[in-house]
């Protein structure tokens, strides 16, 4: 059951539904606050005010600000992952190169629709030392997905072997491009990065068709 705002007065909702509603509202408020003020400038008072919950309710769910924002970070990526799966299910992607293209287009469009989330995840939180381990875990999960796509490309004879460090390099480069776009042009322009990120990633993964197109001076179609 999804509940964003609890009804006033007696509502008869199960406690787990109440807590789930409070957690979601706190997560969204935390990401909004971080996007606007940065992690250091975000206070628990601002989070609870934005979420419409009491400070007591906050401390029933989280130990402190780091615990809360870290959980909000996990929640954001889990939500993004769910939307990405839906995008893949709705696409006709068959080959590893198709998967890469669908991934970037869907991810960037999702971020463009959620500017506060985009800024919090790719601008404000990457430099937050208290959340470094969480960010690293998320980066490694993305690198693992790219590695798995590359493995399928190898099996199909569509990609060449690459140094294992390439996968982390791709994740870091993509994150940097997204951050620069948000800072210089704004989150709504993120989808324009899809062709560049797709092409660059395929080149780094040794995609045969992309490499052949580069050598011949041609342009590989989307």
Per-residue tens of pLDDT for the chain, all 222 residues = 333 554 454 445 577 878 888 999 999 999 999 999 999 999 999 999 999 999 999 999 999 999 999 999 999 999 999 999 898 888 887 889 999 999 999 999 999 999 999 999 999 998 889 999 888 988 999 999 999 999 999 999 999 999 999 999 999 999 999 999 999 999 999 999 999 999 999 999 999 887 565 555 555 444
12: left (phi over 0), alpha (psi -120 to 50) or beta: left
Residue 45 lies in a domain: no
Angstrom distance (rounded) from CA 179 to CA 189: 11
Residue range(s) defining the domain that contains residue 200: 65-216
CB 84 within 8 A of CB 103: yes
Specify the number of domains making up the chain: 1
Angstrom distance (rounded) from CA 115 to CA 69: 17
pLDDT digits (tens, 9 = 90+) for 3-34: 355 445 444 557 787 888 899 999 999 999 99
Angstrom distance (rounded) from CA 39 to CA 41: 5
* pTM, to two decimals: 0.85
Q: Give 20: exposed, middle or buried? Use CB within 10 Å, 0-12, 13-18, 19+.
A: middle
The DSSP result for 158-220, as a single string, is: SB----THHHHHHHHHHHHHHHHHHHHT-GGGGGGGHHHHHHHHHHHTTBHHHHHHHHHT---
Residue 55 lies in a domain: no
Residue 75 lies in a domain: yes
Please report the pLDDT score of residue 174 as a whole number: 97
Residue 33 lies in a domain: no
């Amino acid at each position: 059951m999804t509940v964003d705002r609890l009804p006033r007065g007696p509502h008869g909702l199960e406690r787990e539904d109440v807590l789930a509603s409070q957690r979601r509202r706190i997560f969204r408020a935390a990401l909004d606050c971080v996007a606007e003020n940065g992690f250091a400038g975000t206070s628990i008072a601002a989070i609870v005010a934005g979420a419409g919950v009491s400070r007591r309710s906050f401390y029933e769910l989280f130990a402190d600000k780091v615990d809360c924002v870290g959980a909000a970070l996990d929640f954001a990526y889990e939500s993004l992952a769910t939307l990405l799966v839906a995008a893949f299910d709705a696409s006709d992607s068959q080959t590893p190169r198709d998967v890469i293209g669908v991934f970037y287009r869907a991810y960037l469009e999702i971020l463009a629709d959620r500017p506060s989330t985009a800024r919090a995840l790719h601008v404000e939180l990457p430099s937050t030392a208290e959340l470094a381990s969480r960010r690293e875990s998320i980066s490694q999960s993305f690198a693992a997905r790219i590695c798995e796509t590359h493995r399928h490309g190898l099996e199909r004879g569509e990609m060449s072997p690459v140094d294992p460090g390439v996968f982390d390099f791709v994740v870091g480069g993509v994150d940097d491009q997204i951050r620069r776009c948000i800072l210089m042009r704004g989150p709504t322009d993120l989808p324009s990065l899809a062709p560049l990120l797709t092409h660059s990633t395929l080149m780094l993964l040794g995609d045969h068709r992309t490499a052949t197109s580069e050598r011949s001076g041609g342009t590989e179609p989307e």
